[in-house]
Structure formats: C-alpha cells, structure tokens
C-alpha cells in the first residue's frame, strides 16, 4: 500500500481543520499556508471531502470550511476513501478478485495483511490522531514552521 500525496494532504488538512475547532469556518488559504499545500490542490481535495459529507463550507466573508462530524466519528479510512485513496496493499487485494487466487500460495498472506491495514485505518479516528499530539497546540506546531500565516 502506498498512500499518495492526495491522501497525506487530506489527512493533514482535516487534522488542521479539526484542531481549529468548530466554532467558525476556517479559510482554505489559511489551512493551505499552515500545511504548506497548494491552495488549488487543497480545493480539489476539499471538494471530494465535502461531497462525501466529512466537511461543509460557508461562503462569503468569514467563510471557509468546517468539520461536519465529531472527530471521534471520522476514521482515517473515511478520509482516504473520500479522496479516492486505495487501501489495497497489492493488486491481489484490490476491488477485483485476483485471477490466481485459487492457485496462489501467498494470496492469503496478502489478504490477511490487507485486513489488518484496513482495520487499523478504520479504527484510527481523527480524534485519536489529534490526541497523539495533544501536548502541542496547533499554534505551537505552526510556529515551528518557516512561514507566516495570513
């Protein structure tokens, strides 16, 4: 399994959004600057996340994006699937059945490994990702970076 840039950026941006709180929308330009992600690429990612119902948007002055659900109810698997990130570790464990499945001596190895990986991301919630670094606030993380936030 290889998580692409799209998947990594989606998880970073959603974590940033969740850490910002749910009181008011967060402008996409702010998230893009804080996470060093191209605003245009982040717009594409957020379009997919919005379409899946993970985030919502508010237009106009003071607008931006908000997390639609409690972080405890959003899994990393949900985020990856929303942006089209596959979790299969080999073509053997993808959406299509493997044509060699009946004769392959290692098919079950890949299938079992895939079950573990999918289960991990399914049980890893956005809240847990945030808790992994709860000793540091978003402001502290951002101040470690070499750019200014508009």
Query: For the domain that residue 64 is a member of, what is the CATH number?
Result: 1.10.10.10
Query: Where do runs of H (alpha helix) occur along 20-75?
Result: 28-35, 39-51
Q: With beta carbons less than 8 A apart as the criterion, state whether 104 and 92 touch.
A: yes
Per the domain annotation, does 80 fall within a domain?
yes
Coil, strand, or helix at residue 82? helix
- Which residues span the domain enclosing 13? 5-87+126-143
Cα separation of 3 and 9, whole Å? Answer: 10
Per the structure, how many domains does the chain have? 1
Q: What local confidence, expressed as pLDDT, does residue 149 receive?
A: 42
Beta strands in the chain (DSSP E): 55-58, 64-67
Pick the closest to residue 126 from 34, 51, 22 (CA basis). 22
Q: Is the distance from CB of 127 to CB of 72 less than 8 angstroms?
A: yes
Write the pLDDT tens digit of every residue in 34-74: 999 999 999 999 999 999 999 999 998 888 999 999 999 99
Task: Kindly report the number of other CB atoms within 10 A of residue 42's CB atom.
Answer: 21
In a domain, 95, yes or no: no
Report the chain's mean pLDDT, rounded to a whole number: 86
In a domain, 81, yes or no: yes
pLDDT tens string 95-126: 677 778 788 888 889 889 989 999 999 999 99
Q: How confident is the model at residue 33 (pLDDT cuts 50, 70, 90)?
A: very high
Residue 67 pairs in a beta bridge with 55
Q: What is the mean pLDDT of residues 1-27?
A: 90
């Amino acid at each position: 399994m290889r998580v692409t840039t799209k998947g990594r950026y989606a998880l970073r941006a959603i974590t940033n959004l969740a850490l910002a709180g749910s009181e008011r929308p967060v402008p996409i330009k702010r998230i893009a600057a804080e996470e060093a992600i191209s605003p245009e690429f982040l717009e594409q990612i957020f379009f997919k996340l919005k379409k899946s119902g993970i985030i919502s948007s508010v237009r106009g002055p003071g607008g931006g994006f908000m997390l639609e659900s409690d972080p405890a109810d959003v899994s990393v698997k949900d985020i990856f699937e929303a942006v089209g990130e596959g979790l299969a570790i080999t073509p053997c464990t993808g959406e299509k059945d493997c044509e060699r499945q009946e004769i392959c001596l290692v098919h079950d190895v890949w299938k079992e490994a895939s079950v573990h990986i999918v289960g991990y991301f399914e049980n890893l919630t956005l809240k847990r990702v945030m808790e992994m670094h709860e000793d540091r606030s978003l402001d502290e993380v951002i101040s470690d970076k070499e750019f200014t936030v508009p």
